[in-house]
Each structure stands twice: as C-alpha cells, then as structure tokens.
Amino acid sequence: MTADRHVPGAHGASLNPALEGVRFCPSCGKDADVEFPRSIRCSHCGYGAYYNPKPVACTIPRTADGDVLLLRRGFAPGKGLWTFPGGFVDLGESTEQAATRETMEELCIDVELGPLVGVYSRPDDRVVLVVYEARALGEPQTTPEATEVRAFAPDAIPYEELAFWSTEAALRDLLAPVDAARRSP
C-alpha cells in the first residue's frame, strides 16, 4: 500500500509544469534564461517570473466527541483514499479563510478553527500544507470531492489508506498527545 500512496511532485510528476519545456520569453518571444523549476528571466526585455510552492489550507474537523472527520477523495491525486478537507489558497483570502471555505465546499459544514496543527512541505512537492484543527459545526455531507465521509475515533484512523504523506503526518501530530496519554497509566 505504501508504494502506491500518491505523493504530489513525486513519481516523475513535474515540479513545475508551467515552466516545463519553456525556452522563449512569453513577453517578447526571444530566448529567455530558464532556471527550472524556479524562474524565467529575459535579458532582452526585462521580463521575469518566479515560481514558488503553492499554499494549501486544510482543516481536521472534529466532532463533539473528539472523533476526526475524514473524507474519501473523489478525484486524483489520491482518489479513493482518506484525507481531511483542504485546497489551494486563492489570492485575496487568508489561509484561515481558505481552510474554512474548502471545508464547506467538500463537507458542507461550517467549522470553528482551532490551533495550527502544523505546516508540511518537502523539497520535491509543489505544495505547502497549512493544517488547522477545527470544530465541526453541523452534519457533514458527501460531495463530488468527498464520496464518503466518516467520523473516526483517534485510535481508529485508517493509516494504511491515507491519501498523502502529509495526511498521515498531520494526523499523527494532532493525535500524538492523545496516543501518549492513552499509553500512560
């Protein structure tokens, strides 16, 4: 299962499709200096563009009982596997707003954001995840993006069926204190 787990940016996926194979300046059409995957600069007209990892804002919604709401992804990457709601931060909104909006879009629930769980990035990924704990307000529903929604007890997280490495890392960071407390007498 681990070998099949999708990792954004890995498995031969380009770190920057927008700059893949580009040689000419999009402004003046002359030869440009391309430093893949980071930048393109044009000495003829002064055009320049710099590419950075994109922020993805997420919530880990929890029920009043402390269970974790996970969704089964309806689309690739990670289709059919479990994760928490999240998506790209749009220009014009904060990470908090994006996390709340994405949770509404995917699970049809409002959330009350809690503390930051963590920030997850790797050199070979195109995205940087910003993950907040959240309190679920209302009953989640399935959507095209979330074909199944289930509340998991902290000791019943389907770790072998998670969509991304960052899904597992964030869930472990969130729930580690719980696990530790349970282990202590």
Question: What is the contact surface with Zn ion in residues (CB under 5 A)?
Answer: 25, 27-28, 42, 44-45, 47
φ, ψ dihedrals at 161, nearest 5°: -125, 35
Q: Which tokens belong to 49?
A: 């563009």
* In the complex, least distance from residue 39 CB atom to Zn ion, rounded to whole angstroms: 13
φ, ψ dihedrals at 56, nearest 5°: -120, 125
* In the complex, least distance from residue 17 CB atom to Zn ion, rounded to whole angstroms: 21
* In the complex, least distance from residue 48 CB atom to Zn ion, rounded to whole angstroms: 9
φ, ψ dihedrals at 102, nearest 5°: -65, -35
> Which residue is listed with tokens 């220009």?
91
* In the complex, least distance from residue 51 CB atom to Zn ion, rounded to whole angstroms: 17
- Residue (30 or 182) nearer to Zn ion, CB: 30
Query: Is the backbone peptide bond immediately before 115 cis, with ω within 30 degrees of 0?
Result: no
- Residue (25 or 157) nearer to Zn ion, CB: 25
d(CA 130, CA 164) in angstroms, rounded, equals: 14
- Residue (41 or 150) nearer to Zn ion, CB: 41
- Residue (24 or 159) nearer to Zn ion, CB: 24
Residue 100 sits at the vertex; the CA angle it makes with 99 and 106, to the nearest 5 degrees, is 85
* In the complex, least distance from residue 14 CB atom to Zn ion, rounded to whole angstroms: 23
- Residue (45 or 119) nearer to Zn ion, CB: 45
